[in-house]
Chain A
């Protein structure tokens, strides 16, 4: 098969996004845009307590309110009331403990977190539904609230799940090499305790769902803000006793996913289709921001006690870590988050020995499921902070100690042996870390920074530098699929089962198709997230869209290219080798006037008379699947220069640099957007966002006035550079890039602020995230 001529290359071009005209002119369909005749609206009565026994529920006043159509409690669900499924079973790790407790559609007897739904009201309008929720009379007996991780594991502590012996949801120990021996031979032991709290993702679009049961076609259509429409379709069909053909799930344009919209099944996702079927009327529920704060999953805190063993030259001999992780009231997402923390902690360093134990702890908080970074930033924070402390103890430059420990380029694939979230032993497929670090130091002005800092200091200004390394496990299986078809118009369609929440799939995948079929990427029409178009697949998460669905798309496009060339060769009665596929047409090499368009070939491949040859298929279409044997590991370095007002402790970022290696780049413009958005969320995580709880488990800042997201003024322009080390695990050589922007920012802030205020010289270290000026003041003041 010929290589595509160079001028037709589509992969790697910074194409503006095919989807943007729709989005920018308000013509993109979001779930709340779905308006159907006779549509009803749901509202939920949610638990006002973090932990309580429900003594009674009186809905009699609700039923009398005009406009109310249905009032549903757990009792009304009958057999349909079932705990949600375990989405990700734990991987087979010897000696592990895992105690599954999944969320329920409506609380029965006990509420275990704030916002847990108790009653669903369906009415003619959302206004009436919310008025009716106010009519419900409940009696509770509050129970002790488990919030603090260490308090929750004290023997005899009150339990979140009374049928369990304690609040331990899981315990896992993993080892690489012999840490005890490494420690015995170490010249330096660095030991610290770290607290890393990750917040709520706060997608701009909250969750929402519309379900419509069409009696005449016997089909259920569900519009859902999900990152995994195929899985939702399959699950709903099973729960509702319908065939998969009878259920269509559409994940239309979605205003941000970031992980929590991968959670299956939220109570509302189970209840809205069910009630729509029973009432034979469409039902809509759109989550409001207040609900979002307590009913959409979070990520939250981990408490690490970690130890780094080094030789006299600053080479790492081993790492030991023990951590507690808040998993919230239920754990449908298994061990994904803590395993990511455990695995990613090893970062880009050559670490011969590792011993890590974690315990996931049930608390009376909203569920924890992956949120952009998905536990990786916790691990990176621990490792990078240990490296900074080690550099000080050994009198080494913080860059030098990192450089000495980077995995060398000839050591790939590099085996870390422990089991990763995809059940495979953690192996870094490819990498070349030294040039990434060099490029970041160059871009941030590392060589001249000491002078810059001294000069600023003379003016009474406090500048700090941060340089932090990270890796990002991406592109895990099991698989995705794609279907490519040439239409008789000459345009090409692509359908895949993953959902899209802003990742530029309509453009990047179009480029992958266009690359093979020699046409303009604008002429490739992409459908994602509609199970009527493609219904095999898993979902958009774990930085896997471009890698896994991208590779499946590539495979399908390659197959269609073969069909196109075969059909054209038959048409011209020439050899396939003599054909050129470019500009939406196939021509004979050297005789461009002898050509046939893709559309005409598609028409010939689907004749109305005559016969399609035996053994062939009609049309120019192919479906392909791709499942990587394991995840691809991306890497990068972030660097920044920060200025801190020494009195108010307000920081301002002066320069920010990201150097990133995610293998082959499909579209550098989209990649830049991914990274910048990731850094913005990282800045939120490191500095602005913090869920603040009262002793009795109330969320004290459940509004966007008090839970602070970074604004355009808080996110700096950043300089992006790339190195390219292709992955050997997929035909395009891509690695994921969805989370790298967010992962290292906490560690970077901590290091840069320490540097700006010369905290280590004053005996102060930053060992926690998020920081705020107030918290920094407490940390600094506590030592003065």
Chain B
């Protein structure tokens, strides 16, 4: 469990980091918190020739709020975002989901950008990003393009990032008034990758009618999986128990769990229905 030989670069600026990546392309990997990449290197599953260490690049870890919308720097550590008072006010689902991301020691090092770029379909935050309708700023030496979370995750450990690009910023739109969010998962042990996880966001009008809903699941397919049909079924309802149960039933058919060592696909699908129901009830209660 020793990594294969590699060259280590620790640039001090984003421009330098992007120049290195541009020069080396697929040969180089960005090192952020190292909580996924370093174990993979120790297993020799990942053998990058060059590591571009981002830990000395300043200015990539800010939390900026504008009218309820958030901009998160990619090098923001999970633990910091989990405890951020602004994020807790604007998007409480972040802290709720981050609490389930691995263990405190891992959250102290792991970064939001690293986690999203790794694109593990079992990971919590990619699903939360779909539910929050996030947009990602991707940069290369030439400039930036913006990609919706829904277009970013292409497959297991595969994203829309080009070889010379880095995910630098996560942009979360403001949640409208009377919105409620919830994240629930079932894992074998606290801190494990979930066997199923559901992120739910609902918005009610003044009369208590559901006017917007987004639901996304992790461990539910090759990428984080959104459930637009289940969400659509909620629109125009008062999110009664029967409305929610019907949506949960639809969601069971929208997920495509692959099964794992810990859970059969059938059990995962069953959990998706259970968790969707529970998460929607919770979100509704929080929206009121």
A residues neighboring B (CB under 8 Å): 126-127, 130-131, 134, 288-290, 647-648, 650, 688, 692, 700-701, 705-706, 708, 710-711, 713-714, 772-774, 777-778, 781
Contacts and interface: CB of A to CB of B under 8 A. Distances in A.
Main secondary structure of the interface of B (DSSP, over half): loop
Interface in B151-192: 186, 188-192
B143 interface: no
The 7 closest A-B pairs by CB, nearest first: A288-B1, A774-B267, A774-B263, A777-B267, A701-B261, A647-B274, A127-B2
A131 B261 contact: no
For chain B, the bracket of interface size reads 20 to 34
Contacts of B56: none
Contact of B188 (A692, A708, A781): A708
A707 to B, nearest CB: 8
Given A648-B271, A772-B262, A711 B190 contact: yes
B4 interface: yes
Nearest to A706: B261
B51 to A, nearest CB: 15
Contacts of A688: 188-189
24 contacts: A126-B2, A127-B2, A127-B3, A130-B44, A131-B4, A131-B5, A288-B1, A648-B186, A648-B274, A688-B188, A692-B261, A706-B261, A706-B262, A708-B192, A708-B262, A713-B190, A772-B188, A773-B186, A773-B188, A773-B267, A774-B195, A777-B267, A777-B270, A778-B264
A647 B263 CA distance: 14
Given A131-B5, A648-B274, A710 B189 contact: yes
Contacts of B8: none
B228 interface: no
A648 B197 CA distance: 12
Given A131-B5, A778-B266, 6 more contacts: A290-B1, A647-B274, A710-B189, A711-B189, A774-B264, A774-B267
B244 to A, nearest CB: 14
A778 B2 contact: no
Contacts of A701: 261
A515 to B, nearest CB: 43
A99 to B, nearest CB: 33
A649 B191 CA distance: 18
Nearest to A690: B261
A713 B189 contact: yes
B1 A289 contact: yes
A158 to B, nearest CB: 26
B5 A290 contact: no
A127 B44 CA distance: 12
Contacts of A705: 192-193
Contacts of A692: 261
A130 B266 contact: no
A139 B44 CA distance: 21
Given A773-B267, A778-B266, A700 B261 contact: yes
Most chain B CB atoms below 10 A, which of A126, A134, A648, A705 = A648
Contacts of A648: 186, 271, 274
Contacts of A713: 189-190
A714 B191 CA distance: 12
A458 to B, nearest CB: 20
Given A290-B1, A777-B267, A708 B186 contact: no
B186 A650 contact: yes
B262 to A, nearest CB: 6
Contacts of B264: 774, 777-778
Contacts of A127: 2-3, 5
A781 B43 CA distance: 38
Given A289-B1, A290-B1, A778 B267 contact: yes
B203 to A, nearest CB: 27
Nearest to B188: A708
A473 to B, nearest CB: 33
Nearest to B275: A648
Interface string B33-70: 00000000001100000000000000000000000000
B274 A777 contact: no
A125 B264 CA distance: 42
Nearest to A778: B264
A778 B192 CA distance: 21
Contacts of A288: 1
Contacts of A647: 274
A290 B263 CA distance: 22
Interface in B237-288: 261-264, 266-267, 270-271, 274
A774 B270 CA distance: 10
A708 B195 CA distance: 13
A126 B192 CA distance: 30
Contacts of A778: 264, 266-267
Contacts of B274: 647-648
Contacts of A774: 195, 262-264, 267
A294 to B, nearest CB: 13
Contacts of A290: 1, 43
Contacts of B190: 711, 713
A288 B44 CA distance: 13
Nearest to A709: B189
B188 A777 contact: no
A714 B266 contact: no
B169 to A, nearest CB: 29
Nearest to A126: B2
A714 B190 CA distance: 9
A130 B261 contact: no
Nearest to B5: A131
Contacts of A130: 1-2, 44
A645 to B, nearest CB: 9
Nearest to A287: B1
